[in-house]
């Protein structure tokens, strides 16, 4: 565990967690950031299907 953090278990069913990503298309995007965006997009597609 990470020291200083409190983990709160969520037991209620029906919770939906949303994340958002935003970036400027005319700015440099590192390869790591680009891979992260691709990962999130793929994960979202897999969870919807």
DSSP annotation string for 10-44: ---TT----------TTS---HHHHHHHHHHHHHH
Question: Residue range 11-22: average pLDDT?
Answer: 77
Query: pTM of the prediction?
Result: 0.50
Given a contact cutoff of 8 angstroms between Cβ atoms, the answer to whether 1 and 7 are in contact is yes
Strand, coil or helix: 13: coil
pLDDT at 4 over 80: yes
Question: Residue range 35-48: average pLDDT?
Answer: 83
**In this predicted structure, what is the pLDDT of residue 48?**
65
């Amino acid at each position: 565990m990470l020291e200083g953090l409190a983990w709160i278990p969520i037991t209620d069913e029906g919770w939906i967690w949303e994340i958002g990503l935003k970036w400027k298309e005319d700015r440099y995007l590192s390869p790591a950031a680009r891979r992260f965006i691709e990962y999130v997009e793929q994960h979202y597609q897999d969870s919807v299907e």
